[in-house]
Amino acid sequence: MSALDINNLQNSFQEAFNLSGSPGAVSTSPTQSFMNSLPQRLSAAKQQKVLKPFSTGDIKILLLENVNETAISIFKQQGYQVEFHKSSLPEEELIEKIKDVHAIGVRSKTKLTKKVLEHAKNLVCIGCFCIGTNQVDLDFAANKGIAVFNSPFSNSRSVAELLIAQVITLARQVGDRSIELHTGTWNKVSARCWEVRGKTLGIIGYGHIGSQVSVLAEAMGMHVIYYDIVTVMALGTSKQVPTLDELLNKADFVTLHVPETPETKNMLSAPQFAAMKDGAYVINLSRGTVVDIPSLIQAMKVNKIAGAAIDVYPNEPAKNGAGSFNDDLNKWTSELVSLPNIILTPHIGGSTEEAQSAIGIEVGNALTKYINEGNSVGSVNFPEVSLRSLDLDQENTVRVLYIHQNVPGVLKTVNNILSNHNIEKQFSDSNGDIAYLMADISQVNQSDIKNIYDELNQTSSKISIRLLY
């Protein structure tokens, strides 16, 4: 290795471990930074072949709910047509818009139901620029050959930090004191105001968010216990408890970090509030259906629960605006907002500049890779399939993307169709009733492409076909 090569490698190491940056920068791990700084190979790396059997200007992307600018930039760099809206759309307008688009990006308010997706003639993929995907009919999308992607981890830190802020705010009744002072009332009190040090935090759901909350809470001197339906390795000195009741009996603060499922609906209701310590606190930044809010209201009225912080609700306004959070949306709203020591936030757990930027990059890149390469890794409703990229010197090569019903004999039929060509590499996987085959075949000329497509299109188990070349 020459002196110049050694010097370049040393510079790469220095850049990789220089973690300083502006507050607005999206952070990366030291390992990621290091890997990004190294050349792909010690020898000259082969340039990848871009697979685009279409004019990129023909690809239409619909982005709703103020999806972050990082995603818009990624799509525009590809040459796609991008239509952007700051809010969600009424159902009838959404149905009209979705007829011609190839990809749609949403956050939590837009409901992509069967009724909406039935009208999607060209839709290839859906991007949920958030953690949850319950706003999409995942099964129907899969059966139409539409892959759905989300960002399960990018806003974990933002949610965890807000949770810690709410723990302290509730313990000190900061919300009430702030409201009082805004109206001119000076009320300096210490009664029923506590330090969080030495208190017990009970975490329901010890996943990516719950575990980060655990670390932050311990750093402030809290004891941490958690309940999860699977055995999860504890971080720090936290301890897993075998039952939800045990957690409720012991915790001073109870926080939920679980998905929306039939099993988690009203996970905290009247019996669970009764099992909690007198004067305990409840925090929900997960899903609006996991806490029975009318039961929470009653528990707070009798002083069983000393305070609560709620960020998510069973029914949420479709867009920002005064007066939109009302009894028409949830019939208990007026009663909820009248309670003391309750923090109500408008689903902002993951709403930070850092989180939204990272989500835009993650989901934007996932959609682009699926459109351009067929890479479905990270899809929540689809088999996860990927092939390495083609090199520029691989001419007359076609990538076959074949989505089909998961029934016997399909691969035999497909391989018979492709048998006149050299199958360089192939990968197939299934997820329930849906299967996905990717294959790179060489020695294909332009006249062969239509014949391959037509033959695959006539197979009885076909759901969707794309050929990239």
Q: Is the residue at 390 inside a domain?
A: no
Tell me: do 112 and 206 sit in the same domain.
Answer: no
Per-residue pLDDT of the chain (469 residues; tens, 9 = 90+): 444 444 443 444 343 333 333 333 333 333 343 334 444 433 344 566 665 555 566 899 999 999 999 999 999 999 999 999 999 999 999 999 999 999 999 998 999 999 999 999 999 999 999 988 999 999 999 999 999 999 988 999 999 999 999 999 999 999 999 999 999 999 999 999 999 999 999 999 999 999 999 999 999 999 999 999 999 999 999 999 999 999 999 999 999 999 999 999 999 999 999 999 999 999 999 999 999 999 999 999 999 999 999 999 999 998 889 999 999 999 999 999 999 999 999 999 999 999 999 999 999 999 999 999 999 999 999 999 999 887 656 678 899 999 999 999 999 999 999 998 999 999 999 999 999 999 999 888 888 888 999 999 999 999 999 998 8
Tell me: do 63 and 13 sit in the same domain.
Answer: no
Q: Is the residue at 43 inside a domain?
A: no
Tell me: do 111 and 245 sit in the same domain.
Answer: no
Angle between helices 156-171 and 208-219 (to 10 degrees): 50
Tell me: do 113 and 134 sit in the same domain.
Answer: yes
Domain count across the chain:
4
Tell me: do 336 and 224 sit in the same domain.
Answer: yes
From first CA to last CA, the distance across the chain in angstroms is 38
Tell me: do 120 and 174 sit in the same domain.
Answer: no
Mapped to the 3 state alphabet, what secondary structure does 281-339 carry?
A: EEEECCCCCCECHHHHHHHHHCCCEEEEEECCCCCCCCCCCCCCCCCCCCCCHHHHHCC
Which strands make up the sheet holding 125-128, listed edge to edge?
81-84, 60-63, 103-106, 125-128, 147-149
Q: Is the residue at 136 inside a domain?
A: yes
Give catalytic residue positions: 287, 316, 347
Tell me: do 287 and 230 sit in the same domain.
Answer: yes
Q: Is the residue at 237 inside a domain?
A: yes
Tell me: do 202 and 320 sit in the same domain.
Answer: yes
* pLDDT tens track for 283-327: 999 999 999 999 999 999 999 999 999 999 999 998 889 999 999
Domain that includes residue 437, residue range: 398-468
Q: Is the residue at 97 inside a domain?
A: yes
Tell me: do 122 and 238 sit in the same domain.
Answer: no
Tell me: do 248 and 263 sit in the same domain.
Answer: yes
The CATH number covering residue 98 comes to: 3.40.50.720
The DSSP element (H or E) to which 422 belongs, if any, is strand 422-431
Tell me: do 251 and 311 sit in the same domain.
Answer: yes
* pLDDT tens track for 335-368: 999 999 999 999 999 999 999 999 999 999 999 9
The CATH number covering residue 446 comes to: 3.30.70.260
Q: Taking the complete model, does pTM exceed 0.95, yes or no?
A: no
Tell me: do 329 and 428 sit in the same domain.
Answer: no
